[in-house]
Structures are given as C-alpha cells and as structure tokens.
Amino acid sequence: MVSLKHKLALGFGGLLAIIAVIGMLTITQVDQLGSAIDVILKQNYRSVAAAQEMKEALEKMNIDLLQSFSAEHLSSPTTIATDETRFRQALQTELGNITLPGEKEKADRIALLFDNYVKIIYAVSSDSMALEKRRDRYFMTALPLLSEIKTLAQEILDMNQANMNEANHAARRLAESAHNRILLAIASSAVLALIFSYQSRRWILKPVSRLIASANEIRNGNLDLVIETTSNDEIGQLSQAFNQMATKLRQVRRSDDQKLERTRKATQEVMNILPAPIAIFDPEGRVDFATQSAIRNFGIEPGASAAKLGYSWLPDLLRQAVETGGTVELSGNGFIQKFINSREYFFKPAATAIPHTPDGIGSSGVVLLLHDMTQAQEQKELKRGVVSTVSHQLRTPLTALRMAIHLLVEQRVGPLNDKQAELLQSALEESDRLAEILDDLLDLHRIESGKSRLNKTPQKPETLVKESIEPFIFDIREKGLKLVIDVPSELPEVQADLSLIRHVFANLLTNAIRFTPPGGTITVNAQAELAGICFSVEDSGCGIAPEHLKRIFDQFYRVPGQDEKSGIGLGLSIVREIVNIHGGTVGVESTISKGSVFHFTLPV
C-alpha cells in the first residue's frame, strides 16, 4: 500500500531533485564561463598589452634616434635607456606569459634582435661618429632590426587577440549551451510539477472535496450517506472512519428519536392534565403544543399562528421573550379578563424563551403560561372594598373624636391639670396620625378604582417643582438641611394633574426630610429623557438596603427598623399609582450610608 505520506514524499522529493539538478547545472556553467573569461582577461590580455608596450617603446626609441640626426639635436642616452628599460620590462612580461604555440620562439627572437638593436642604437647615437656614417649605419642595420622586432611584436599581439576572440566565441557557445540546458531543466520540472499537481488533485483534492460535501450533507441531516472509498491510504482510511461515524450517528439518532418520542408523549400526557393554560410556540410564532385548558378556554390550538389568534398582546409578548432570552410578563395591570362558564376569571400571561443551546444562546421557541390570578384579584377587590368601607365608616366617628379632643385641649369644658393636658395632647397627635392614614387609604382607593379623575393641564417643570416644594422649605431649614434645586427653565411642558403631582412631591420630600440627618442635602432635579421629563428627589440619608428596594412601593410595606410615626407604608404606593395613571414610571436607587434617589417620569 502506497500511503498518502509516501505519495507526498515522492512528489515533493522529485521536485526537490529537479531543483538540485538545476542548481548544480547553473553553478557548473557559471564556473566554466568564469574560467573562460579569466583566460580572456588574464592570460591573453597580458600578452597583448606587453606586445603593445614593446611597440610603443620601440617607436619612442626610434624617434629619439631620428632626432639625433639633426644638427641642432643630439639624442640623450638617458632617454634611450629609459625606453630600453620600458621595452625590456614589457618583454619580460611576455616571456613570463607564454600561452600559445610558437609564441615563445617569437618572444625569444625579439629578445635576441633587441639586444643587437640596442648595441647599434648606442653606437649610432654617439657623436664620435660622423653624421653621414651614422645615418648610413642606421638605415643599413638598425632600421631592418626595428622592422623585424615590430613585426614579431605585432604577430604576438595578433596571436593573442585571435585567441581572445576564439575564447570569447567559446564562452558564448558555452552560455548558449547553459541557457538551453537550464531551459530544458525548467521545462522538465514544470512538466513534473503539472503531473504531480494532477496526481495531487486525484489523490487528495477530490477525496477531500467528497468528504466536505458529505460533511455538509450530514450537517443538513442526511445520515444515510455512504462515502465510496477507492484507496487504502490515509484518505481512504478517513473515508472509512467517516462512514463508521455516520453509521454510529444513525444509530444514535434512532435511539434519540425513540427517547424523544417517549418524552414527547409523556410530556403531552402530563401537560394535558395540568389545569393551567400552557402553550409552546416555535420560532416562527406557530403553536407547537397546547394544553387542553389553553385550547378549550383560549382557542390556542396546535398549528395556529400567534398573530391570528385574536390576542393583540400575544405577538409582542413572544417577541420580547425572544429578545431578552428570559421571562417577560404582560405590561400594564398585567391581567387578561376571561368569562368561562358564565364566571369571570383573570389570567396573568408570562412568556419564557426556550434556549437553543445549553449556554443560552439563541431561542428555539417560547413557552406561554397563563397564571390564574382570579383568586388574587378577588382578594384584592375584597380588600379594596373592606378598606373603603372601613375608611368611610371610621371617618365620621374619628372626626367627632378629634373635635372632642380639641375642645378638651382648649379647656372649653373646664380646666385641665398638667397630666391631663399631656395625655390629651398625645391623643390629639395620634388622632391626627390616624386621620392621615385614613386619608391615604381613601386616596389609594379612589386612584385604584378610577374614581380619582385626572385634570391634566400643561405645566412647566420649573414652576411645578417650585410650587411643590414651597410648603416644605420651612421644615427643611428648621432641620438644618441644605436644599438644591436643579431644574432647567428650557425644559418642555408636561401634562400633569397639579394637585396629584404635588401629592407625589409631598410624599417624596416628607420621606427625604425624615430620613436625612441635620447637615445633609436634599436635591430636586429635572431633566429631559426619551420617555419624557424625569423628576428626582435625592437625599443624603441612611439609604435603603438592596433587599428592600423591590418592595418599597408595595402597599403596607415598611422597611424594618423605622419609627412607628413614619406611616403604615402607603405613601410610596400612592406615588406609584399617581405616576402610573399619568402614563409615567417610578423607580429608586439607594446606597447604604450615602442616601437614596427617588425618580419618576411624566410625558411631555
């Protein structure tokens, strides 16, 4: 079996061998070209230069000798000796650089002739001989020697130049041969690379492409796929492992399908007997499952679309659950009124997103649960009726009781001793406190029952804040507190019932004054937001623990540890109800030992 590793090694090894051969050929040819050029530049060129130097030295010596024949000039032996030295040095260079056949004989002949020539020159250039005789001897002996020496030097020059030309042609032929060999090697490597590329595509790319396509099929749910294996190399082994994996996945899928079917049937049977209306919606908003109570009482049947069930609140509730990834409830009063078997019921819808993955990313559907709040609503209505009845029934006798206490305190029915006056004063304070509690109960009842009619008018935030805090300026200064008002005058007007909003500020400022120690600061602020104008009352008091913030606006809820004179826990409930009927929101932030910030918004 030829493995994929061996195939890759074979292909890349062949390419590496081709690269090595091309490199060796290139290095060899370059070395040969360098040797040829070295011959041209070093050997033959020296002989050419030496021959040329000898010719120039001879010409100079001849010119000096000819000039000595004139009556006004005699040749200087020093000048002739200098040219002689120059000639002998060039001759010596030539004798040391014999490279061609016959070159040595010519050089030796030049040396012999030059010795004779030098003797004749010195004799002819001497003034001891008559001028005519000197001229005759020059033309008879020196000039023939000069011509022969120059001819021999020219022959040596021509021989070396001819050899240089031949070496140049040889170098060109060698370069052309190297060029052709390298082109042939490159073409061979290209052919082998193409062959290997084709084989790689057949060995690797096609099987890998089949594996990728098979993986995509399996990802799309096609577990019945079987990959054809045509080799026993690593790709073939991978294909076999892939087939085994697909077989195992098919087995697991069948097992999971069976378990899922059992679970679905069991869940359906369990949910069918649940009294609460429950429905499961898929990501497209269609009912996937619903309990019998949901089908019977709300018409939520499997396959129905949430948008077509006739409940305007349902699509938005499902969308919010998907966006938040958690549980959301219906906004507003949160109740759905439904008549079932001629009886009024109240349900509170809640939607919970079903996580798509274990880490909670994405959503695969939404569960809708309709909590039956009928009993709680009936109890709430009963409580409201009792509170309203008791408050009205207590108000008349309490008024009479307060009047009697006032008459006694003012001693209109007789004088009182100090102890009696003290007791009556305490009774008067408690009766006033009880009257305030009854007033709060009646206010809350009127607001919750809708009997408190709103008289909304445009109000400037700056004016609204100043008029609301004016009754409390004296109490703030008396306790030694600092008041800061930050309300920009350019804020837009809000739609508000002046008397009710004053009641909101009265509750918030009363609490701020009560829980802020002397030397503290109360800040009243207003600023524009997307939802409207946000008003806030901030104090630097003791603050509220985090576990109490969620229930601070509930009816009759009091933070543990408060003074009994701080009320029964209705003030902030009234604040919330007043802000709600204005279409705004209310909230609080607090930090222990640093203070609290109560804020509410009103629409512009």
State which H helix or E strand residue 229 sits in: none
Architecture of domain 274-372: 2-Layer Sandwich (3.30)
Q: What is the pLDDT of residue 98?
A: 86
Give the contacts of 293 (CB within 8 A, at least 6 positions apart).
274, 275, 276, 277, 278
At 539, the pLDDT band (50, 70, 90 cuts) reads very high
Q: What's the whole-number mean pLDDT along residues 534-549? A: 91
Architecture of domain 454-602: 2-Layer Sandwich (3.30)
Q: What is the pLDDT of residues 238-256, one digit of tens each?
A: 777 767 777 777 777 777 7
* Same topology between domain 4-193 and domain 274-372: no
Percent of the residues in the chain that have a pLDDT greater than 90, as a whole number: 13
Q: What is the pLDDT of residue 523?
A: 95
Q: What is the pLDDT of residues 426-469, one digit of tens each?
A: 777 777 766 666 666 666 566 666 555 678 889 999 999 999 99
The whole-angstrom distance between residue 317's C-alpha and the CA centroid of its chain comes to 32
Q: What is the pLDDT of residue 215?
A: 73
What are residue 335's phi and psi, to 5 degrees?
A: -115, 145
Q: Is the pLDDT of residue 233 over 70?
A: no
Q: How far apart are CA 283 and CA 354, in angstroms?
A: 10
Averaged confidence pLDDT in the chain: 78
Q: What is the pLDDT of residues 464-501, one digit of tens each?
A: 999 999 999 999 999 999 999 999 999 999 988 888 89
- What topology is assigned to 380-448 in CATH? Helix Hairpins (1.10.287)
Q: What is the pLDDT of residues 190-220, one digit of tens each?
A: 787 777 777 766 666 677 777 777 777 777 7
Retrieve residue 98's tokens: 């014999």
Q: Are 287 and 303 in contact (CB under 8 A)?
A: yes
At 597, the pLDDT band (50, 70, 90 cuts) reads very high
Q: Is the pLDDT of residue 592 over 60?
A: yes
Distances (CA, A) of 279 to 283, 311, 589: 13, 14, 37
Q: What's the whole-number mean pLDDT along residues 28-41? A: 60
Q: What's the whole-number mean pLDDT along residues 140-161? A: 87
Domain ranges of the chain: 4-193, 274-372, 380-448, 454-602
Q: Are 552 and 559 in contact (CB under 8 A)?
A: yes
Q: In angstroms, how far apart are the furthest CA atoms of the chain?
A: 188
For residue 327, the cross-strand partners are 352
Q: How far apart are CA 41 and CA 85, in angstroms?
A: 25
Q: How far apart are CA 264 and CA 275, in angstroms?
A: 19
For the entire predicted model, the pTM comes to 0.41
CATH number for the segment(s) 4-193: 1.20.120.1730
Q: Is the pLDDT of residue 17 over 90?
A: no
Q: What is the pLDDT of residue 469?
A: 92
Residue 93: CA atoms inside 13 Å, Cβ hemisphere, count? Answer: 20
For residue 280, the cross-strand partners are 289, 367
Q: How far apart are CA 430 and CA 383, in angstroms?
A: 24
Q: What is the pLDDT of residue 359?
A: 55
Q: What is the pLDDT of residues 327-360, one digit of tens each?
A: 887 765 567 777 777 777 777 788 888 876 555 5
